Amino acid sequence: MPRVQEHPDHPEGGRKYGAFQTEIYKDGLLNQKLPTVTTDPNKLEEQARTFLGVRSFNYVAGGAGEKATMDANRLAFRQWKMIPRMLRPTTHRDLRVELFGQTIESPLLIAPIGVQTIFHQDKEIGVAEIAREIGVPYILSTASSSSIEEVAEANGDGTRWFQLYWPQDNEITKSLLRRAKNNGYRVLIVTLDTWALAWRPADLDNAYVPFASGIGDQTGFSDPVFRAKFAKKHNNKTPEDDIFLASREWEADVFSGAAHTWEDLELIKAEWEGPIVLKGIQHVDDAKKAVEMGMHGIVVSNHGGRQLDGAIGSLEVLPEIVDAVGDKLTVLFDSGVRTGVDVIKALCLGARGVLIGRPWVYGLGIAGKLGARDVLRGILADLDQSMGLAGIKTIADCNRSMVRRVQYGGDTISSH
């Protein structure tokens, strides 16, 4: 379980993330300065819409099919209610957790999201910088518009993990893992649910897929093995010589339409020395299979509703998966998280860490890396403050006695 440790800046250990609330009020009272990015999770998406182009906004805000899975994710959170406890010593909270042998400042993780250059020129490099500043691990997507090496440099001594969209070419897969390993990425996240792109009407109606024009292909274009294979096949051309051709070849390898198998994980295990986490687990039997295959963790996730429409909300299956394998590997959670209280609910249902995606992307689109930072700081402040109000002192105190599933007919879908 998470351990409380001494911290020089806090009598009870850990960062005091809730202080962001005081900072906002102080700026308003003394400097007449209001937040650039809204603190209201139900207004954030609409604010981002006014800053982003139609294609960019649709890419992040859209989902698969009729968005039924996105709706299910949010409704699942609405139907778990907090049961606060009183007269507990929660003046100072400690949000720190231990994941894969490393103590991190909070259970919040920056989810791997690609093509960040379509949201703001600060892109992945900028978000990796602010992740280090606020003490949140940064998970780099294979579909990045910055290279593995550039993001590592920007992140400095921060905590970073690498997410793999698993190529069909084993030599390229090995090269990507070597680069991540050599650049200080501690944990490997293998995404299982995106070996082909889903039916996404918001993108289809604009005939928009950024990868086709080289956007989000920098991981491949900067890879020495991919470059060598491309040159050999195309008369010594580089990807820069023919962006569209290189894009097609990279996309055909990464989003090939050909699924990998459980047995293929042996290659990953042979090539990666650190923790391996499988992302996209929704069924108890798959979670058990992950244990059988020697995985170190899983992410209970439906890709934020971007892949299979009509799927079950990830929070619905979290408790049963935790009950089945939570004592055998690390269970992380992703999909539908919008607030600090959402984070608490996922932790109470057994997650050890929580990935968050769309909200900070909206912040990035509104105000660049500082917008992303402030969205994350707001979620962390909400997490910190709400833990105190609920009577929760440490992350270890988040347990099922603090929540109850209640289905009110009046519950409606909140922000996607």
Residues with a catalytic annotation lie at: 303
Query: Quick one: which of 412, 346, 351 has its CA closest to 383?
Result: 346
CA distance 95 to 102: 14
Residues in CB range of 335: below 8 A, 6 or more apart: 73, 300, 301, 302, 303, 304, 305, 313, 314, 315
d(CA 64, CA 305): 6
Helix 314-325 and helix 284-292, axial crossing angle in degrees, nearest 10 = 40
As a whole number of angstroms, the distance between CA 226 and CA 171 comes to 9
